[in-house]
Amino acid sequence: MKKVGELIGLPSSQTGFETRGSVQGWKQTFLEDHLKTLAEQGEWDFFKTTLALLLYGLVLFPFTLGVVDQAAMDVFFFYETQGTNPVMAILADTLMSMEVCHKKQRVIEVLQSFALCMVCNPFVCIRSFGSLVTSLPDFSRIEIPEKTAQQWKNDFARYQGQHFPWVCPWYDHRDTIFSCGDFPNVPLMGSRGCIAYTPVIALRQLKWTQFVPDKELLGGVCFQYGTNNEQHERVRKAWEHIHKKGERELGRARAYASAEYLEWRNERRGDAIPVPMEVQHEDPSRALTDMLPKWR
């Protein structure tokens, strides 16, 4: 807490956390006031760091509305002081949120904005990447057409699976981490817990041939910190021994799925996907706000 306060230029007398239920952190309004003070004083280095902290707490690692909590600060601190890449934590938190939503039958309602971005962005942008010198830095140059909800609905009604790319245009094919330590898959460490990621069911997205995975490779760890300290330590040590696979193990790279896999996926999807409920057309952000207290 004190060390994060030093990073953002916060006086030591103001570094105390506020508590909301079981969550400790700084309120969004408190950090915004600090931003205004820094701007008035011309302390732009501290200003940029404080703004980054707000983005970490409210966008990348949100948990309690209007609060930048301790978990988000921990990820932010390790990035600022040690250069620790936050991507794994973002992916882990995303997967854990989807797991919670799935268990509570809230996939359609809570993740509608996330799903829209996942579906629309690749389809709209795939045709522009060939003209970009550097795909990711130039991403903001891609023009997204303005359409009404009904126009988007009509467009998607005409599209089939072959219209959507399986592989990100900027993906650089290389050997892939398939497991860590004695885990059969990849245990991801997030800001609040750990969850298993199974590359063997995402081979086509990684430009490999997708086949039916062995049952023992599915599933894996999923727990929050403080509930299983022994398992947490096991996950941490597992990352000291990563195991990769490439062309030698998987053959020539090509984004392809076997007929056996497609049949297996259809059977598995019927058992795994909740029955969609009737969804009212409303402001997605408001729906998310209303839903958060119910699934936490």
CA distance 49 to 222: 32
Average pLDDT of 33-55? 94
Give residue 42's pLDDT: 94
Average pLDDT of 19-23? 77
Give residue 278's pLDDT: 36
User: Contact at 8 Å (CB) between 191 and 91?
Assistant: no
Q: In 133-166, which positions are buried (b, 16+ CB within 10 angstroms) versus exposed (e)? A: eebeeeeeebeeeeeeeeeeeeeeeeeeeeeeeb
Nearest to 169 by CA among 60, 247, 255, 91: 255
Quick check: 290 pLDDT over 50?
no
Average pLDDT of 240-253? 88
Give residue 114's pLDDT: 53
Residue bearing tokens 């966008």 = 59
At 220-238, the pLDDT tens digits run 888 888 777 888 899 999 9
Average pLDDT of 266-288? 48
CA distance 116 to 124: 12
Give residue 196's pLDDT: 92
